[in-house]
């Protein structure tokens, strides 16, 4: 696809950080189907955003795996939280790759609707949900790159461990 010259400044940054500290338009939450909070990045986002986030999430009545929902960011520096539900790893032959791809695509679709220009993602499913980190990072990067071919946004791939950073760096070499 021909690149639009206006989009030349789009970037993907690999950043080691706690996603709740980032001053971006939107942070992505690796949530569960209830959207009512959990452990890992979900717990961190809810505790930094405060109880109003949980209240707004209650009104969403959950979210199927692979889909995404948007709320305000409340106590976070980010204006929005995009909640997506990654697949639970169960060996790799149960549609996990496609579901993970859908998470990124649906997050980007919401980002476009809300004119979000900077968006930070955790490594969805690669924590408690057990998706192999290298495979998750490869899928994430491919989806990020394909969105950036069309849109002028800055994407941050947040690495919460050295291993995540390493996996993203390895995945980058494939492009």
Examine residue 122 and tell whether it contacts ligand ADP (CB under 6 A).
Answer: yes
Q: How far apart are CA 43 and CA 141, in angstroms?
A: 24
Among 4, 18, 52, 112, binds ligand ADP (CB under 6 A): 18
Examine residue 33 and tell whether it contacts ligand ADP (CB under 6 A).
Answer: no
Examine residue 53 and tell whether it contacts ligand ADP (CB under 6 A).
Answer: no
**DSSP reduced 3-state for 145:** helix
Q: Which is nearer to ligand ADP, 18 or 98 (CB)?
A: 18
CB under 8 Å, gap of 24 or more: what pairs does 106-111 form? 106/66, 106/67, 106/68, 107/28, 107/68, 107/82, 108/143, 108/147, 108/151, 109/68, 110/68, 110/69, 110/70, 110/82, 111/25, 111/26, 111/82, 111/153
Distance of CA 104 to the CA centre of its chain: 6
Residue 42 annotated as catalytic? yes
Q: Which region among 13-21, 70-78, 92-100, 109-117 touches ligand ADP (by CB under 6 A)?
A: 13-21
Among 160, 167, 168, 171, binds ligand ADP (CB under 6 A): 160
- Contacts to ligand ADP from residues 139-158, by CB under 6 A: 158
Given the rule CB under 6 A, which residues bind ligand ADP?
A: 18-20, 30, 40-42, 44, 86, 122-129, 158, 160-161, 164
């Amino acid at each position: 696809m021909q690149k639009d010259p206006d989009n030349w400044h789009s970037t993907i940054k690999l950043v080691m950080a706690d996603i709740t500290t980032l001053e971006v338009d939107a942070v992505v939450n690796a949530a569960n189907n209830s959207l009512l909070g959990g452990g890992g990045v979900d717990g961190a986002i809810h505790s930094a955003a405060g109880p109003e986030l949980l209240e707004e999430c209650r009104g969403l009545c959950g979210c199927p795996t692979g889909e995404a929902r948007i709320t305000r960011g409340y106590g976070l520096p980010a204006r929005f939280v995009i909640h997506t539900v990654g697949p639970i790893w169960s060996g790799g032959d149960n549609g996990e790759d496609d579901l993970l791809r859908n998470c990124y695509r649906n997050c980007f679709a919401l980002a476009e609707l809300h004119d979000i220009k900077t968006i930070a993602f955790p490594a969805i499913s690669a924590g408690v949900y057990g998706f192999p980190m290298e495979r998750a990072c490869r899928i994430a990067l491919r989806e990020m790159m394909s969105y950036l071919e069309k849109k002028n946004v800055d994407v941050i791939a947040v690495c919460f461990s050295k291993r995540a950073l390493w996996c993203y760096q390895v995945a980058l070499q494939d492009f």
